[in-house]
Amino acid sequence: MFKSKKINGKLVYHINGKTIKKMFVIANKAMENTFPKPNKGFAVAVLTKKGNIYPGVSYNSDTYTLTMHSEAVALAHAAIHGETEIIAITGPNCHICKQLIYESSLRSGIDVIVLINEKEEVKQIPISRLMPYPWPEKPFL
């Protein structure tokens, strides 16, 4: 469905423009469902190897500590549907979420593409490039 190359032992996908556009539309639409207030927070979309797109929204807690970032929610959203082979996610993402994305890539063997919408161009950056000294080397669980 999507073209991929093996680079440094991991699959790296190239995401076509139509899919990228769809992912940003879905992420932007999901902003209506940020919790507890609509359009106050963050939303992303993940793309799975099967070609499905799952949005995630930030889910804030009054404790702040318990707040869930939209990336974690989107990854869990895909997992609920039995999909853990994530090939791309809209960005930019905070460093906590980069860690989660990196761990997803560690488990799936897919170097997840982070899509950065910069002016009129969308950059496709593998998570490995955003995590030059990653930890851990292997999944614990």
Supply the minimum distance, in Å, between the C-beta of residue 41 and Zn ion.
11
**Which letter does DSSP use for residue 76 in this model?**
H
Rank residues 71 and 111 by Cβ distance to Zn ion and give the closer one: 71
CB 39 within 8 A of CB 32: yes
Binding mask 18-57 toward Zn ion (x if CB under 5 A, else -) reads ----------------------------------------
Identify which of 66, 47, 65 has the alpha carbon closest to the alpha carbon of residue 55: 47
CB atoms within 10 A of CB 72: 18
Binding mask 77-106 toward Zn ion (x if CB under 5 A, else -) reads -----------------x-xx---------
Rank residues 69 and 77 by Cβ distance to Zn ion and give the closer one: 69
CB 22 within 8 A of CB 15: no
Which residue of 69, 77, 90, 115 would you call a contact of Zn ion, by CB under 5 A? 69
What's the one-letter identity of residue 109? G
Q: In degrees to the nearest 10, what's the CA dihedral of 72, 26, 85, 105?
A: -50
Supply the minimum distance, in Å, between the C-beta of residue 42 and Zn ion.
7
- Where on the chain is the footprint of Zn ion (CB under 5 A)? 69, 94, 96-97
